[in-house]
Amino acid sequence: MDRILSADGTPIAYRRQGEGPPLVLVGGALSTAATDAPLAALLAPRFTVVTYDRRGRGAGRDAGHEDAGADRVGREIEDLNAVVAAAGPGACVFGMSSGGALALEAAAAGLPVDLLAVYEPPYTPGASGLLFKARCTARLHRLLADGDRA
């Protein structure tokens, strides 16, 4: 795998394969570049596919994930920006699961991509999402207080 540096100097491991317009795959919370390899292989005949190990995963396990603190998402956005820059001009991004949520946040922060597609992001924007989260949290607290851990 090749490596690039994120904005904070953290090395990010990535792999490039195929020929065509650049396409960056952003895996979910438990994914690595290796996890995304089968999809990358299917896309490689039509795209230059770039997969990477998100901070704290795979070859990025020692990439300061624990040190990111409250700005963990901000650091991952910086990482994705570095990967997109390495992918080249006209890059497209496909984010899966939490990688989709990260890609949406990065796009909202100005990620320079030509196209963004997401698959099943755990994302509920606005007041309705906050209300849903608050209700779920309150229910979990009630269940725990009642001793229900099932």
- At 116, is the pLDDT very low, low, confident or very high (cuts 50, 70, 90)? very high
Superfamily of domain 2-119: Alpha/Beta hydrolase fold, catalytic domain (3.40.50.1820)
More confident residue, 130 or 102: 102
The yes-or-no verdict on residue 128 having pLDDT over 80 is: no
- At 63, is the pLDDT very low, low, confident or very high (cuts 50, 70, 90)? low
| Mean pLDDT taken over the chain | 88
How many other β-carbons are positioned within 10 Å of the β-carbon of residue 137? 10
Contact 24, 93 (CB under 8 A): yes
What is the Cβ-side half-sphere exposure of residue 9, based on CA atoms within 13 angstroms? 1
**Do strands 11-17 and 2-5 pair parallel, antiparallel, or not at all (unpaired)?**
antiparallel
More confident residue, 63 or 145: 145
In which region does residue 117 sit, left (phi positive, over 0), alpha (psi from -120 to 50) or beta (all else)?
A: beta
Q: Which positions ≥6 away from 83 have C-beta within 8 Å?
A: 4, 12, 14, 24, 50, 52
Instruction: State the DSSP H helix or E strand holding residue 107, giving kind and residue range, or none if neither.
Output: helix 98-108
Is residue 13 helix, strand or coil? Answer: strand
Q: What is the pLDDT of residue 62?
A: 56
Q: What is the pLDDT of residue 99?
A: 94
Q: What is the pLDDT of residue 69?
A: 59
The yes-or-no verdict on residue 70 having pLDDT over 70 is: no
pLDDT tens by residue, 23-46: 999 999 899 999 999 999 999 999
Burial 9-23 (b: 16+ CB within 10 A, else e): ebebbbbbebeebbb
User: Edge-to-edge, what's the strand order for the sheet holding 92-96?
Assistant: 2-5, 11-17, 48-52, 22-26, 92-96, 115-119
The yes-or-no verdict on residue 88 having pLDDT over 60 is: yes
